[in-house]
Structure 1
Amino acid sequence: MKIAEMKQALTGLSAVSFRLPDGSYLPAHFHVTEVGLVNKHFIDCGGVERRETVANFQLWEAGDYDHRLAPQKFLHILNLSQKVLGSDDLDIEVEYQQDTIGKFGLAFDGQDFVLTPKHTACLAQEACGIPGSLLALPQLQTAGCTPGGGCC
């Protein structure tokens, strides 16, 4: 999901809810503690230099049970964050505390914002020597390169 899509979705909502990949919901008293710009500059396992930029939202919950983030307030936060995010319509990445900080993609199903799983992947598959037929295996899609695969 991109920033513009989120703003559009928020305009039609009476309440903001986030659903985890397992179907459970974040408590209604969650906070948006950060909206940031994350730039990643890296070299993949095939030696190709790459850059990624995303808008990052950090969601947090505490004992503030009376707190509710209204859609209009969330829109206000997004508008304030434009001075950090710039005018680009960036993809959104969400951080949420679980056993450790979880990183998620974001989708909207017409009613709820849905935190979607993110997976590692090998970006230089041709350099890894992984046959195309093996890339369909779920463990390779989730884990990316494997030991002895030549890419790590």
Structure 2
Amino acid sequence: MKLSEIKTILATAKSINFQLENGETIPGHFHVTEVGIITKDFIDCGGNVRSEKVANFQLWSASDYEHRLKAGKLLDIILLSEKVLGMEDLETEVEYQSGTIGKYDLGYNGRNFLLLAKRTDCLAKEACGVAQAPKKVFVNLSDSAKSCTIGGGCC
């Protein structure tokens, strides 16, 4: 989810809720402790130099159970981050403590922001010799079913 999409949602939202893919909700007294830019420069396994840049939110649940972050306040934090950090309209990831610091993609289901599991992938499959999955060939059974007769051996 891009930063601009988050800002559009926050502009009209009454409250902010975060939910994990398994349905578990982030406690309502969470804090957004960081809004920033993460830049990753790396070489993939095929020797290609790559660079990625994402907007990053860090969520933290503390013991101050009366804390409630309002949508407008988070929007203000994002706007300040854009101004001070020169933040672009980047894809957003979220860090959240669950056993260890987890990194999540961000989605929205019309009610809650969703923390979506990130997946690793080989970025240079052709250089590594990782075979691409063969394309599946689908047969239109309705065509053969029209010409199928009882005892004809087609079923």
Give the TM-score range, shorter chain. Answer: 0.7 to 0.9
| SS, match of residue 123 in structure 1 | coil
Q: TM-score, normalised on structure 1?
A: 0.85
| SS, match of residue 126 in structure 1 | helix
| SS, match of residue 31 in structure 1 | strand
Q: TM-score, normalised on structure 2?
A: 0.83
* Aligned mates of 1:87, 1:19 — CA distance in 2: 25
* Aligned mates of 1:87, 1:119 — CA distance in 2: 25
* Aligned mates of 2:38, 2:10 — CA distance in 1: 23
Gaps of 5+ in 1: 137-152
Q: Which moved further from structure 2: 18-27 or 86-95?
A: 86-95
What aligned pairs does 1:1-150 form with structure 2 within 5 A after superposition? 1-133=1-133
| SS, match of residue 96 in structure 2 | strand
* Aligned mates of 2:85, 2:118 — CA distance in 1: 22
**Contact 2:19 2:26 survives alignment (8 Å):** yes
Identity over aligned pairs, percent: 53
In the TM superposition, structure 1's runs of 4+ consecutive aligned residues that sit over 3 Å from their partners are none
Cα deviation, residue 33, structure 1: 0.2
Tell me how many residue pairs correspond in the alignment. Answer: 136
Cα deviation, residue 116, structure 1: 0.5
**Contact 1:55 1:85 survives alignment (8 Å):** no
RMSD: 1.6
**What does the per-residue CA deviation read over 1:123-147, in whole Å, with 9 as the maximum and x for residues that have no partner?**
000011121127x9xxxxxxxxxxx
